[in-house]
Structure 1
């Protein structure tokens, strides 16, 4: 499987709400870096994050564009998040089913046919503005 196919499979699982499918795409020592958050290390921490996201948010990523280096060791994706805020996340505005549309992107390290690092970026201030309106 190419790096482009791997990242595509990862995001297909994301859009399907398939945390197990996402976990199948990552290494045991996955490094997960999120915007405005702590770095998570390892499959268990990543699984906890996926579980939390599934409860607090319903998101679909659209307009996906995937880039991969020629040697297949690094990749990036740009997309637009279409989401619904379902359950209040601590420290963030109260959830009342608000919807949002948010440009975002991610960077990847790829190793042995799996994702070894994912770093996600989005504009948190824009998201807060949208769910607070």
Structure 2
């Protein structure tokens, strides 16, 4: 995959995220997607990724801004850093109670690209910063 094609793939992924279009996000990942969740275990497969997205949509309303995408020369890997602005809608298990709190924090994601689709998504952010912002 070329550098420019990977860049377009990652841009499409973030456009779908910001549009809340999880079906479009699913169309951009491999069937055996490896999804590394911050502070959590790796989830493998499109079904697990879809379940995660449904859970996130129920508990959080988020948009990403200031997105900077970096792509390897051969297009096989990419990274992005951005700002997450969100509202905590429904209490998530093991986390503080939700009461419509808003938050804003930096985050980053690493990607592997295979066969024209995203093969791995690994996202990091400061969970303690988020917890402090939602008032725990």
Output the TM-score relative to the length of structure 1.
0.98
Is 2:36 the counterpart of 1:39? no
Task: Note the residue ranges of structure 1 that are not aligned, 5 or more in a row.
Answer: none
Output the TM-score relative to the length of structure 2.
0.96
Is 2:16 the counterpart of 1:13? yes
Equivalent residues in 2 for 1:1-133 (5 A)?
2-132=5-135
Stretches of 4+ aligned residues off by more than 4 angstroms: none
Q: CA deviation at 1:85?
A: 0.3
Q: CA deviation at 1:112?
A: 1.2
User: What SS class does the counterpart of residue 98 from structure 2 fall into?
Assistant: coil
CA distance in 2, matches of 1:60, 1:113: 25
Q: CA deviation at 1:106?
A: 0.2
